[in-house]
């Protein structure tokens, strides 16, 4: 029987540098679309299964021991692991393949929150997406920018005797299908996504956050406020815990800012982003930790495994200090690569368009491409 490693185990091993190599035996197109990536770089090779089977003797000679083999569902790679074992080469199969990896959410505790509040950053390595749970043990919680897999959020809340009262999407996402409306419906929470992004009323209940609106998480006096930060999208509304944390959605990242072109209004939204940067973000406490909704590369993951920065560090970038509106807009627009063609469809789905589970799986292939770079 093939030796195996689960997605959770593989993520931890990558983080600790215990994975010598990943051999991905999906077809070329699938491999080029996205690969298994964790919080640290790992040598990864793509070799279609039919070629790998023909080259099994060479692989048995050349692969490092404990190489992890990957395919879409874990079946072809399992066969290859067994064949390599027969030749004396110990390798391992990723259980469930990339389909299972795509659903992995890794919760990491958040530090630096007010006394009485707990929180987690949930990392989804297949998409380089981040979501959050903030709450008061024994009372209420809010889930921000959730993936479409509800169990990890519900489990965290239950473990700490918290009721999920709010589910917030900071904006209509273009890179992944949200689980927000379904999670809110399942736990009886209030769901919020900006109407400016959905284009009007949605087929699911929606209570958009107002600028400055306070979320009631319990009797502990903690401020969790909605804060409008348009620029990536027209209606982006994030969460601010004054003096402690800004859950910034796609407005600002560890490196870079949110691309403003995904709604077809690049220059208009780049101007909005300029005003957001100078009027809404610059006056905030520079020690505030910035907790974004994405990362673009492993360089944005800290030594503690967290994806975060501070507003002070954000404003060290040349572009974020640019005070000329025209130059700011020009630099942002010039940095933009072409957006994936499926992003318009994903935005429609997140605004209420119904598609099949099979279509959702296709729409979710590949890492996010939501950032515009900044000059540092």
Whole-number Cα distances in Å, 130 to 43, 127, 150, 217: 24, 9, 14, 21
The two structure tokens encoding residue 245: 């944390």
Dihedral over Cα of 179, 181, 185, 190: its sign: positive
Q: What is residue 60's three-state secondary structure?
A: helix
CB 170 within 8 A of CB 180: no
**Of 71, 129, 238, 370, which is the active-site residue?**
71
DSSP state of 252: B
Dihedral over Cα of 43, 49, 53, 54: its sign: negative
71 is catalytic: yes
Q: How far is 182 from 150, CA to CA, in rounded Å? A: 8
Q: How far is 55 from 146, CA to CA, in rounded Å? A: 42
Q: How far is 215 from 136, CA to CA, in rounded Å? A: 12
DSSP state of 300: G
Q: How far is 321 from 281, CA to CA, in rounded Å? A: 12
Secondary structure E strands in the chain: 4-5, 22-24, 44-46, 67-70, 91-94, 106-109, 118-124, 129-135, 140-144, 163-168, 190-192, 225-228, 237-241, 245-249, 257-258, 289-292, 309-310, 371-372
Catalytic residues: 71
């Amino acid at each position: 029987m093939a030796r195996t490693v689960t997605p959770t185990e593989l993520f931890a091993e990558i983080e600790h540098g215990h994975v010598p190599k990943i051999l991905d035996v999906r077809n070329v197109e699938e491999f080029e679309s996205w690969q298994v990536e964790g919080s640290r770089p790992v040598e990864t090779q793509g070799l279609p299964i039919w070629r790998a089977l023909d080259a099994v003797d060479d692989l048995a000679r050349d692969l490092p021991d404990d190489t992890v083999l990957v395919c879409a569902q874990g079946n072809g790679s399992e066969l290859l692991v067994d064949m390599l074992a027969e030749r004396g080469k110990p390798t391992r199969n990723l259980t469930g393949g990339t389909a299972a990896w795509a659903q992995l959410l890794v919760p990491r505790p958040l530090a630096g929150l007010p006394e009485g509040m707990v929180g987690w950053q949930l990392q989804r390595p297949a998409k380089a997406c981040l979501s959050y749970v903030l709450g008061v043990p024994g009372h209420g919680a809010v889930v921000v920018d959730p993936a479409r897999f509800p169990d990890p959020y519900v489990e965290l809340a239950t473990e700490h005797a918290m009721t999920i009262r709010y589910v917030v999407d900071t904006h209509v996402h273009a890179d992944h299908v949200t689980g927000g409306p379904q999670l809110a419906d399942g736990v009886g929470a209030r769901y919020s996504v900006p109407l400016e992004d959905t284009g009007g009323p949605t087929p699911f209940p929606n209570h958009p956050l107002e600028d400055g609106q306070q979320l009631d998480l319990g009797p502990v006096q903690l401020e969790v406020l909605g804060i409008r930060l348009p620029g990536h999208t027209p209606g982006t509304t994030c969460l601010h815990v004054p003096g402690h944390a800004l859950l910034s959605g796609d407005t600002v990242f560890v490196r870079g800012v949110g691309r403003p072109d995904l709604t077809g209004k690049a220059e208009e939204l780049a101007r909005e982003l300029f005003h957001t940067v100078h009027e809404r973000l610059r006056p905030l406490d520079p020690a505030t930790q910035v907790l974004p909704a994405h990362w673009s590369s492993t360089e944005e993951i800290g030594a503690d495994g967290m994806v975060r920065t501070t507003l002070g560090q954000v404003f060290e970038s040349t572009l974020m200090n640019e005070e000329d509106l025209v130059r700011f807009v020009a630099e942002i627009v010039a940095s933009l690569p072409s957006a994936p063609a499926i992003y318009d469809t994903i935005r429609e789905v997140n605004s209420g368009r119904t598609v099949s589970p099979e279509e959702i799986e296709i729409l979710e292939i590949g890492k996010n491409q939501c950032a515009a770079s900044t000059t540092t």
